[in-house]
């Protein structure tokens, strides 16, 4: 296994930039998820690392080698694709053997490696089958096997779970995580599903518009999103973001809404707001950091319930507040009706504040 370093990586098609100045380091044995919405440049970044498309500028290092101009086969990588990309006319055995065959390995060594990989992934009984005779999960395992058999420096995975049904996806998620742990594999994993990234990866690289927005552990990204995009993208349900204005009244800094209500800020939050470029501030709060009251309470702001979604363990309530939709989680025993008048109280310690102009997080 090896580390991977991307330095100022750029890919442009004429004047259109798919990837812009992406720099990040994937340490040896680390599982890194590239995550972002469609068209954010995550798959392009992966294909650049794989060598399937040429880079415009920047450097890619795998291990201690700069691989910018190397063919995919010389980069010591293995790739798992969205549709598994198993050769449909070859048996599982031949699929696993293919990368070795292309490297002119002797039949004896090849057989050994194929059988080892098959044993590790528990697909030995499938070796003589054709891919179309396998279930989605089995095909997935064969695809992993074909990557594993090569003993590559880095595994690249391009949305490998997005074709599976919900139940199998959860199962395969833990299998891939287990795969990572068992083989100490360096993995770069592309997904549009932030939940996959959060649950599987050691670090997540959130991308948007070709730029790397934030690169950190899932816990850090979740707790301290650097800007509005990351805040809205990571977490399910998404963080509620309410555009407000900062105001000062008799030495107290507060946030005021167009609807007329205000929220007085703690000292720490007041210092954050004072760093904003203008008066425009966006208040961010996760569903669990908002308390819902059925009666007026000191410091709570009035709102109206829009929908109530019981999920069993938790009931999610959506509330309209100052033009934004606010998600709140409640215990299932809490009874609330659509269109009911409620009051929301924001937890000052778990409140996120963003500059309304620059969209960056405001820090103390």
The distance of closest approach from Cβ of residue 16 to another protein in the complex, given in angstroms and rounded to an integer, is 17
Nearer to another protein, 87 or 320 (CB): 87
Span between the terminal Cα atoms of the chain, in Å:
40
What is the CB neighbour count within 10 angstroms for residue 327?
20
The distance of closest approach from Cβ of residue 132 to another protein in the complex, given in angstroms and rounded to an integer, is 4
- Which residues lie below 8 Å from residue 237, measured CB to CB, with a gap of 6+? 287, 316, 327
The distance of closest approach from Cβ of residue 99 to another protein in the complex, given in angstroms and rounded to an integer, is 4
Copy the structure tokens of residue 297. Answer: 């309470």
The answer to whether the beta carbons of residues 63 and 70 sit under 8 Å apart is no
Rounded to whole angstroms, the Cα distance separating 43 from 84 reads 15
The distance of closest approach from Cβ of residue 286 to another protein in the complex, given in angstroms and rounded to an integer, is 37
The distance of closest approach from Cβ of residue 98 to another protein in the complex, given in angstroms and rounded to an integer, is 5
The distance of closest approach from Cβ of residue 52 to another protein in the complex, given in angstroms and rounded to an integer, is 5
What is the CB neighbour count within 10 angstroms for residue 258?
10
Nearer to another protein, 94 or 271 (CB): 94
DSSP symbols for 176-213: HHHHHHHHT--EEEEES-HHHHHHH-SEEEEEETTEEE
Nearer to another protein, 80 or 127 (CB): 80
The answer to whether the beta carbons of residues 51 and 70 sit under 8 Å apart is yes
Sheet with 65-66, edge to edge strand ranges = 16-26, 4-13, 57-62, 65-66
Nearer to another protein, 83 or 296 (CB): 83
Nearer to another protein, 89 or 252 (CB): 89
The distance of closest approach from Cβ of residue 51 to another protein in the complex, given in angstroms and rounded to an integer, is 8
Nearer to another protein, 72 or 209 (CB): 72
The distance of closest approach from Cβ of residue 109 to another protein in the complex, given in angstroms and rounded to an integer, is 15
Alpha helices in the chain (DSSP H): 42-50, 92-102, 107-120, 136-148, 166-183, 194-200, 218-223, 228-233, 267-274
Within the chain, what is the greatest distance between any pair of CA atoms? 83
Nearer to another protein, 157 or 276 (CB): 157
Rounded to whole angstroms, the Cα distance separating 364 from 353 reads 10
Sheet with 31-35, edge to edge strand ranges = 77-80, 154-158, 187-191, 31-35, 203-208, 211-216
Nearer to another protein, 159 or 196 (CB): 159
Q: Using DSSP, state whether 102 is helix, strand or coil.
A: helix
Which stretches of the chain bind another protein, using CB under 8 A?
50, 52, 71-73, 77-79, 81-83, 85, 87-90, 98-99, 102-103, 132, 146, 150
The distance of closest approach from Cβ of residue 147 to another protein in the complex, given in angstroms and rounded to an integer, is 9
Nearer to another protein, 163 or 220 (CB): 163
Rounded to whole angstroms, the Cα distance separating 339 from 336 reads 9
Which run of H or of E encompasses 342?
A: strand 341-346
């Amino acid at each position: 296994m090896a580390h991977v370093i991307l330095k100022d990586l750029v890919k442009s098609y004429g004047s259109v930039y798919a990837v812009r100045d992406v720099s990040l380091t994937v340490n040896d044995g680390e599982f890194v998820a590239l995550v972002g919405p469609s068209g954010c440049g995550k798959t392009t970044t992966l294909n650049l690392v794989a060598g399937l498309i040429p880079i415009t500028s920047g450097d890619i290092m795998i291990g201690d080698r700069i691989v910018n101009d190397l063919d995919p086969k010389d980069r010591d990588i293995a790739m798992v694709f969205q549709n598994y990309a198993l050769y449909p006319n070859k048996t599982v055995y031949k699929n696993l053997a293919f990368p070795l065959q292309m490297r002119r390995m002797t039949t004896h060594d090849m057989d050994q490696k194929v059988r080892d990989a098959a044993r590790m992934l528990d697909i030995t009984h499938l070796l003589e089958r054709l891919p179309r005779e396998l279930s989605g999960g089995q095909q997935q395992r064969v695809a992993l096997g074909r990557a594993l058999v090569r003993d590559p420096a880095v595994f690249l995975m391009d949305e490998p779970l997005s074709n599976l049904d919900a139940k199998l996806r959860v199962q395969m998620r833990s299998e891939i995580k287990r795969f990572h742990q068992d083989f100490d594999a360096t993995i770069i994993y592309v997904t549009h599903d932030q939940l996959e990234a959060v649950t599987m990866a050691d670090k997540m690289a959130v991308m948007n518009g070709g730029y790397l927005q934030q690169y950190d552990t899932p816990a850090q990204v979740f707790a301290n999103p650097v800007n509005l995009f990351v805040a809205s993208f990571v977490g399910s349900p998404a963080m509620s973001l309410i555009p407000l204005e900062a105001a000062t009244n008799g030495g107290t800094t507060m946030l005021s809404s167009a609807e007329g209500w205000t929220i007085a800020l703690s000292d720490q939050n007041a210092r954050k707001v004072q760093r904003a470029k203008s008066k425009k501030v966006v208040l961010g709060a996760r569903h669990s950091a908002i308390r819902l009251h059925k009666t007026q309470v000191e410091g709570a702001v009035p709102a109206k319930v829009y929908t109530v979604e019981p999920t069993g363990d938790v009931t999610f309530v959506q509330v309209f507040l100052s033009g934004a939709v606010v998600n709140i989680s409640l215990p299932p025993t809490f009874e609330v009706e659509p269109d009911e008048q409620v009051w929301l109280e924001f937890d000052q310690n778990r409140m996120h504040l963003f500059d309304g102009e620059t969209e960056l997080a405001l820090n103390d």
